[in-house]
Structure 1
Amino acid sequence: MSNAKDIFDTMLTRFDQSAASEMDAIFQFELDDADPYFVTIADGAATLEQGEHDDATVTLGMDTDTLSEVMSGELDGMQAFMQGKIRADGDIMLATKLTEIFPTP
C-alpha cells in the first residue's frame, strides 16, 4: 500500500498550473487509514499540508488505495464516487476538476 504523503507528493509534481489559473480552493482529504491532508490551490500554485483545514471548499473521504488508484488513472474518480468508494462534501463540481488540475501520467 502506498504511503499517503507519497501519493500527494506525486500528485503535486503533476500540477497543471494552466488548469488551475483561475482557481482558489482548498481540497480536504479525509483518509480512512491515514492522516488527513489538504491541498490549497491559489494564485496558480498548489501546496500540501497535513491536517484539517477549517474552511475547505470540498472534502473528499476515501482510503489511500482509492486515492492512489484515482490519482494514477487506474480508477475514474466519478465512477469511484458512484460506487461509494469516495465520499464528497461541499463543492462537488470542484471535485470533478481534480484530475484536470493533477492530470494522470
Structure 2
Amino acid sequence: MSDVINAAVTALNEKLGSFDEGTAKFVIEDEGSIMVDGEGARAGDDEAEVTLTASRETFEGMLNGDVNPTTAFMTGKLKVDGNMGLAMKLGSALA
C-alpha cells in the first residue's frame, strides 16, 4: 500500500470517523483506492454505492480544505459514478 493511501486513510478517519450513510470508494489516480463505510476508512477496492475519482493533488486538496469538493466536481477534477446524493453527503463532510 502506498504512503499516499496510508496518509489518506488516516486523514479520512480523522475527518469522517465512521460514515453510516452508505459505502463509498475514493480512487486516487495512480495510487489506489480507499473504502469508506460505517467501519471507517481503509484501503480497498470493493463494490461501493458511489465511486469518487480524482488526482492525488485534488484529493489532498479536498482533505486539507484547499479544494472544495463541489467545485472540483463542477470543473471536472472530481468524477462521481453512482449515488450522487451520497457523494454530496461525503462532500459536505469533507468541506
Letter aligned with residue 28 of structure 2: L
What SS does the corresponding residue of 1:96 show, helix, strand or coil?
Answer: helix
1:35 corresponds to which residue?
32
Unaligned runs of 5+ in 1: none
2:22 is the alignment partner of 1:5: no
Task: Flag the structure with larger Rg.
Answer: 1
Q: Check the 8 A contact 1:16/1:101 in 2, yes or no.
A: no
1:62 aligns to what?
54
Aligned length: 93
Q: 1:88 aligns with which of 73, 80, 85?
A: 80
- Which aligned runs of 4 or more in structure 1 are off by greater than 6 angstroms? none
Residue identity in the other structure for 2:27 = E
CA RMSD of aligned residues (A): 2.1
Q: CA–CA distance in 2 between the matches of 1:66 and 1:48?
A: 18
Query: Structure 2: where are the runs of 5+ without partners?
Result: none
Counting aligned pairs with the same residue, the percent is 23
Q: Contact 2:58–2:77 (CA<8 Å) still a contact in 1?
A: yes
**Structure whose residues are more often helix by fraction:** 2
